[in-house]
Structure 1
């Protein structure tokens, strides 16, 4: 399939596909007229990349997942290298949550100090 069809089927721009190719995440062949040609399996690779990016992974994070799919595994997350990326990402998220909770506590303390009668609530609470 040509780049436009892959873009349409995977829900990305042709520019994104060219970038993924430049980064070595997907590969195309060139037809006689110079057009990029992709395999059906590239739809799955691009879908995996997009799903990972949607939850905060980088393109470099996606590389082991793509390699896992290329090696024939049914899931990009079923290889040890992918599991390691999942674990690292969870640790990063946990660190950010701890940081945000500490910041929230500091801001709440500043509010309480500045406005002793003000009620500190979480969004959505009354």
Structure 2
């Protein structure tokens, strides 16, 4: 099949498919004259590449997966997925810690804004200026 057909079947653009080929992600693509001729294995490979990209993998990370141009290296794929999941777990923990800090700062600013004491109010001017005007006090 030609590039238009593989593009239609996989949802990848012809430009992306040529890029995958240039990076070595598709192995050796056949030729018929000046036209590229793709196989069912290439269709499966493009679908796998697109799925991996949707899961957050970069194309450079996928090169070891398809080294050799045949079946994907499934053990390598498993290790990539495990590493990706570990990175996501670490990012989730970092974001949870950030959310807790934001919550604490938010509560402190709200308490400051609610205070009627002159000293507390003078320390809260920057906090008041940082909040939208329609924010409840």
User: Distance in 2 between the 1:25 and 1:69 partners?
Assistant: 7
Pair 1:83 & 2:84 matched: no
More helix by share: 2
- Higher relative contact order (Cα pairs below 8 Å, separated by 6+ residues): 2
Q: Aligned to 1:70, what secondary structure does the other structure show?
A: coil
User: Distance in 2 between the 1:23 and 1:50 partners?
Assistant: 14
User: Distance in 1 between the 2:46 and 2:74 partners?
Assistant: 18
TM-score normalized with structure 2 length: 0.72
- 1:46 alignment counterpart: 46
**1:31-68 deviations in whole A, cap 9, x for unaligned?**
12x01111111111000111111111111233344359
Structure 1 residues not aligned, in runs of 5+: 118-126
TM-score normalized with structure 1 length: 0.78
Pair 1:21 & 2:26 matched: no
Structure 1 residues 61 and 46: CA distance shift in structure 2, 3 A: same
The aligned length equals 111
Who wins on radius of gyration, i.e. which is larger? 2
Runs (4 or more) in structure 1 with deviation over 6 Å come to none
